[in-house]
Amino acid sequence: MKQFVKAIEIWVPGVNGSVLELASAYYGELEDFKKASESMQFAYDDGLPGKTWSTGRPIVLTDLDNSYFQRAEAAHRAGIACAVSFPVLCGDFLQAVVVLFCGSGKDVVGVMEVWQNPEDGSKELSLVDGYYGALEKFEFISRRLTIMYDRGLPGVAWAKGHPVIIDNLGSTNSFLRAAKAAEAGITTGLAIPFFNNDSHVQILALLSARGTPIARRFEIWLPDASKEALHFDSGQSYAGDDLGKQYEDISIKKGEGPIGEAWLEGRPLVAQDESDGGAAMIVLPVIRNGSLNSVVCLVL
C-alpha cells in the first residue's frame, strides 16, 4: 500500500529558545531526506518550521522550489510534492511545529486543506489553501466553496470545538463535497480546529483515500470531566477494526504510553505503536485556552 504522507517531523524550541530543533520524526524509506533534515535548525521566521512559528497558523506549501522552503532538492529526490505544517501553541508559547510531507503522482490520492473564518468572527469558512495533487475537479469545487458553522467536516469541527472524524465521505450528507469525494476515492476526513480566540479559527482538514491513506488508523481521545484521564471518542481503521469496542474499557492517564506522554508534556511526538507491530504513530495534543482539548493519534 502506497502512503500519501511520506514523512513527519516534530520541531521544538531548543534549550535557549532561539531556534527549533528536530525532536522526533518519521521518514520511512527516505534515508537521504532524513540525512538532509536531522541536523538542521530553524530560527524564528526561518524556513517552513520558522515561518509556522512566526505566523502561529497552519501552512500549506505546494511550491517547494520558489518559496522559503530550504530542502527543495532533497524533497524532489524523495518524491515529496507538498509540505503542510501547523503549530502546537499553549497560549502565546510555542510547544512544537509539526510538518507533514505528502507524496506525488496520479496514483497517490489525498487532500490537505486549511480553512478559516474572517477575523471579524463571521460564521463562515473559506479555503486558505490546499494540496489536491491530481484531483483537479475536487480542487475546483473546494476553492469556490464557503462552509458555514456546523456544516460540513470543517464546520462541524468548529462547532464541536475539538477534532472530528467522518467516515464514508462519499455517501454521507454531512460532507458537502460527497459526490466529488466518491468520484476521487476519498473515504475518510479528519478536521482539527486551531482557535486564535473564541471567534476566529483555522481548521486543518485531512482527507484520506483507501488506496493511499493518510493513516491506516485515526483516533481521537478526549479528557473526562475530571480531566484526570483520556477516553476514546471516535476513530476509523482501514483494517476494519471496531475501535469503539476495542477501547471501551480503556482510559489513559498522564504519562501512560505515547498518548499519555503527549498529554503530560503538551507536545506532539512520533513513536511506535507496540499494539500494531511497532508501526509508526504520530500523537498530537490539541490545546485550547491553555488546557488540553483532545489528543489525535494517527497510525501510519
Rounded-to-10 torsion of CA 190, 195, 199, 205:
-20
At 2, is the pLDDT very low, low, confident or very high (cuts 50, 70, 90)? confident
What pLDDT was estimated at residue 276?
A: 78
What pLDDT was estimated at residue 196?
A: 79
More confident residue, 200 or 20: 20
What pLDDT was estimated at residue 210?
A: 87
At 1, is the pLDDT very low, low, confident or very high (cuts 50, 70, 90)? low
Average pLDDT, the chain: 93
CATH number belonging to domain 106-214? 3.30.450.40
Q: What is the spatial distance between Cα 58 and Cα 176, in angstroms, rounded to a whole number?
A: 22
**pLDDT > 70: percent of the chain:** 100
What pLDDT was estimated at residue 105?
A: 74
CATH number belonging to domain 1-104? 3.30.450.40
pLDDT tens by residue, 80-115: 999 999 999 998 899 999 999 998 777 789 999 999
pLDDT tens by residue, 124-173: 999 999 999 889 999 999 999 999 999 999 999 999 999 999 998 988 88
What pLDDT was estimated at residue 283?
A: 97
Which residues make up the CATH 3.30.450.40 domain(s) of the chain? 1-104, 106-214, 215-300
What's the whole-number mean pLDDT along residues 275-297? 92
User: Could you tell me if 7 and 22 are in contact, meaning their C-beta atoms sit under 8 angstroms apart?
Assistant: no
Q: Measured at the alpha carbon of residue 173, what is the angle toward residues 198 and 150, in degrees to the nearest 5? A: 10
Please name the residues in contact with 146: beta carbons below 8 A apart, sequence gap of 6 or more. Answer: 124, 125, 126
Fold of domain 215-300:
Beta-Lactamase (3.30.450)
Would you say the C-alpha torsion 133, 148, 57, 296 has a positive or negative sign? negative
What pLDDT was estimated at residue 266?
A: 95
**Residue 16 has which C-alpha cell?**
535557549
What global pTM score does this model have?
0.94
Q: Is it the case that residue 248 has pLDDT exceeding 90?
A: yes
